[in-house]
Amino acid sequence: MPAETSPSPTVVAGPATASPVTSVSPAPIVAGNEAVGTAMPVETSAAVPPAPAPSSPTPTPDPNVWRFQGRVVTEAGEPIADACVVIGPHGCRPFGPHTDDQGSYYIDMPQNPTIVYELRFEKEGYTTVYYRVQPTAPTEFNVVLRPS
């Protein structure tokens, strides 16, 4: 199992651009030109450019949930298949959310802008990263994992 260390990925929502993250303060999640929530890395370091994301989140069949989706990629922009997306304090579950062959994942979350989710992105051979996110609308959330 890889060591669980401080994150050093880039998080980009929608068409926003990446910039270095140098402090542990909330950052807006942006879809187009509109802030749709906040993301706060547990710890941070310099950012790297992520792979391109779809232009908008896929609609959900349930009007009472927001789709939280994105891609998990390497620093070179290659998709990371079968990366585990962990919600909450429990570890990766065999039937929990995982990325597909293109590094894409999605989670449908209740439409409640007051809930803060703790997310972990992990894959053997890569450094596990942690985020606290508070979506307030359907959200794109892309992550870059670095080799451990």
Query: What is the pTM assigned to this prediction?
Result: 0.62
Contact 138, 109 (CB under 8 A): no
pLDDT at 12: 39
pLDDT recorded at residue 90:
84
Per-residue pLDDT of the chain (148 residues; tens, 9 = 90+): 444 443 433 333 333 222 233 333 344 444 444 444 445 444 333 344 444 544 555 666 788 888 989 999 999 999 999 999 999 888 899 899 999 999 999 999 899 989 999 999 999 999 999 999 888 898 899 999 999 9
- In order of their start, the domains of the chain are 27-144 (2.60.40.10)
Cα angle 101, 102, 107 (rounded to 5 degrees) comes to 90
Per-residue confidence (pLDDT) for residue 49, from 0 to 100: 47
Per-residue pLDDT, 39 = 54
With beta carbons less than 8 A apart as the criterion, state whether 130 and 7 touch: yes
| Whole-number Å distance between alpha carbons of 84 and 72 | 10
